[in-house]
Chains A and B, each alone.
Chain A
Amino acid sequence: MKKDRQRRRLPPLFGGAERLGGALPVLALFGAVLMCSPSHSREGDPQRGEVLYKACKSCHQIGAGAANHVGPHLDGLFGRQAGTIADFKYSSAMRKLGQNGLVWNEFTLDQYLAKPRAYVPGTRMSYLGMKKQSDRIDLIAFLKTLSREEPATDPQAPQLERAEIGSVAMRLNGDPEYGEYLSSECVTCHQVSGRADGIPSIIGWPKNVFIRALFEYKTNVRSHQVMQNMTINLGNEEIAALAAYFGSLDPQ
């Protein structure tokens, strides 16, 4: 059970499609064909939305006890000003839009989820978008059912420690200076600014999430050719150093 939960919370360090076995682009294709007259008035189906939420839960937590993860927690989402959860490292684009008055509701979420990078250029969210409007209506219906619950009492609550691969690196104090040198290999694709322009943002991640992700590429739990190749020769010291360096960066 624990193992299962852990797996479902994997943040995708690199594009989602390879890992999801192509579910997203297939969805996208269907969306393009079927998106004729959206039934906006239709009531969303939260049960179907829960199934669709699987694509989100690798980065987001929602419901009682939800904490910031790779993405911000989603408790109290509806009516929340964008980019305002304390201690979460938002992109400057998201913070600015919040300051400019962006508030999350059914309408704004629908637009954002359809094409995140078009709606908030510079967002750190790596998700490509949910093309089918009926899917978005169902997903938003599901988010509403849980988001009505009490907001998390402590959004920064530490996750339960558990024995896992990467635990040795997790106990190390990574050398950020070494990490900065090693990072020069990463930033050829992953931008230091934190922008996700087709390659995911990897800055400001919690240390252990970052370390776990790299180990999962090393061990091919996550399947991605470039990332597996990049991580295969990295040892505990290197991975801890990279986690320390990238974790220290703020979005630009």
Chain B
Amino acid sequence: MRKISRRTFGLLAGAGATSLALPHYARAQGKPRAVVIGGGAGGATAARYMAKDAGEDLDVTLIEANPSYTTCFFSNLYLGGFRSFDSITHGYDTLASNYGITVINGMADTIDREAKEVVLADGSRVPYDRLVVAPGIDLIYDSVPGYSAQAAEIMPHSWKAGPQTKLLKTKLDAIENGQRIVMVTPPNPYRCPPGPYERVSMMAHVLKEKGFGDSKIVIIDPKPKFSKQALFQEGWEKYYPGMIEWYGPDVHGGIKSLNPATGEVETDFDTFRGELVNVIPAQKAGNIATKTGLANDTGFCPIDPKSMRSQVDDNIFVIGDASIAGDMPKSGFSANSQAKVAAMAIRGDLTGSRVFPAKYSNTCWSLIETNDGVKVGAQYAPTDEKIASTSKFISQTGEDDAVRQATFEESVGWYKGITTDIFGT
């Protein structure tokens, strides 16, 4: 008799649960089912790797609310005029046609963890044996007093790429010489640690290109220091002298209120007024993760560092920005890396394929000015407590122009590489 291991138990349990499921998304040929919620850098990678590596042995479904995906990474380069919006937007056709993934264009409303089914907004149910939850972030609007989803139509956050990104670009392009931009940056932990400061660089680039020497960009930061700070500040001094002012909490003392009607940001220290105000509030795991009990009181989801398996539910894996990934930053690169570990663990669970020790990596490139790119990155390995950094690097201040240009060109190559890896295009 075959010994029932955790793996085969999962299979048996899965078969039991799914045979009772609604017929809406019928189970294919009794194959084990892997379902992914969220088609971003983490979710789409997980779906593709499971489908690619398991072939006919696994039925893979990807649930995504939007018909296409605009990457947050490189969206600052769109603001700066270095990329078109189309060039950072990707579809799911190849995942469906070349990898046999069932792509459901719909909103996952909740997870029936008991029945092991994802419930879509239209009420239909998608049964799973293993589920990957990759919803990204939700914004905590009221972390900045006076901010709201409505206020974001006037003071965009643009921290989820899409219409918000275009709105910010429109407002940026409408700025006139002498007008001011105010940016409110988020507290840790948040998506893309160097992102706000790359965005400031790209905004400054646009103003400088237009010869708007009288305009200023003011950053109101809740953190006393920030990612790649020395590199950004060196670059701002070099390319945009006098244009960018950064205020940490010891100077501004905290934000008391926002007024979208007047464009005012009131702090303990002073009231700043901007013709363009970009507010990036605090963040938490995407709604579906918090409402199904996968997140803890930090707002993010605890996972097993060796597999990305949820600490709450053995049949669920949480990857990307929604997870608590130890030393790893919330980035597209991290999500892509975590997806591969989760995909391998799920294949091991459902098809008995080999499971190798987890390895994780991340690199974040940022553009400061034309052909001046910088990077920070690390390797990670699981310990019993967390995903821990094992080695790291960062660009140096004072590097020569050729190194910075090579770093920028490398980032362009990386973008092509990672989007190919995510979407299979």
Contact = CB atoms under 8 A, between A and B. Distances in A.
Contact of A197 (B378, B395, B403, B413): B413
B388 interface: no
B406 A188 contact: no
Contacts of A25: 401-402, 405-406
Contact of B421 (A128, A188, A233): A188
B2 interface: no
Interface string B414-425: 101110110000
A149 B290 CA distance: 71
B403 A229 contact: no
Interface string A169-190: 0000000011001101101111
A50 B378 CA distance: 40
A229 B416 contact: no
Interface centre among B336, B337, B405 (most CB of A within 10 A): B405
Given A184-B49, A190-B417, A198-B410, A229 B391 contact: yes
A160 interface: no
A17 B402 contact: yes
Contact of A177 (B336, B354, B363): B354
A182 B401 CA distance: 33
Q: What is the size category of the interface that chain B forms with chain A?
A: 35 or more
Nearest to B363: A226
A124 to B, nearest CB: 13
Interface in B352-375: 354, 356, 359, 361, 363, 375
Interface string A78-95: 000000000000000000
Nearest to A24: B402
A63 B118 CA distance: 65
A101 interface: no
A230 interface: yes
Contacts of B340: 181, 184-185
A177 B344 CA distance: 12
A232 interface: yes
Contacts, number: 105
B390 interface: yes
A209 interface: no
A232 B363 CA distance: 15
A230 B405 contact: no
B417 A189 contact: yes
A229 B402 contact: no
A220 to B, nearest CB: 12
A181 B379 contact: no
A233 B393 contact: no
B69 to A, nearest CB: 17
Nearest to B400: A22
Nearest to A181: B356
Chain B binding site: helix, strand, loop or mixed by DSSP? helix
Nearest to A183: B340
Given A15-B410, A228-B393, A188 B337 contact: yes
Contact of B402 (A22, A189, A199): A22
Interface in B254-276: none
Given A225-B395, A230-B379, A232-B379, A17 B417 contact: no
A36 interface: no
Nearest to B420: A191
A25 B414 CA distance: 20
B115 interface: no
B402 A225 contact: no
B392 to A, nearest CB: 7
Given A191-B417, A228-B393, A229-B392, A26 B381 contact: no
Contacts of B354: 177, 181
Contact of B409 (A15, A181, A185, A233): A15
B378 A188 contact: no
B412 interface: yes
B326 interface: no
Contact of B359 (A23, A182, A198, A229): A182
Contacts of B344: 181
Contacts of A228: 393
A68 to B, nearest CB: 25
Interface centre among A18, A25, A192, A193 (most CB of B within 10 A): A25
B402 A198 contact: no
B391 A22 contact: no
A187 B393 contact: no
Contacts of A24: 402
Nearest to B396: A225
Nearest to B336: A188
A38 to B, nearest CB: 24
Given A26-B402, A198-B412, A232-B390, 6 more contacts: A23-B402, A184-B337, A187-B421, A198-B409, A226-B393, A226-B410
12 contacts: A25-B405, A25-B406, A184-B340, A185-B337, A188-B414, A189-B410, A191-B417, A198-B409, A198-B414, A229-B377, A229-B379, A230-B379
Interface of B: 49, 333, 336-337, 340, 344, 354, 356, 359, 361, 363, 375, 377-379, 381, 390-395, 400-403, 405-406, 409-410, 412-414, 416-418, 420-421
Return the 10 tightest CB-CB contacts between A and B, nearest first: A198-B413, A22-B402, A199-B413, A17-B406, A25-B402, A184-B340, A225-B393, A189-B417, A197-B416, A198-B412
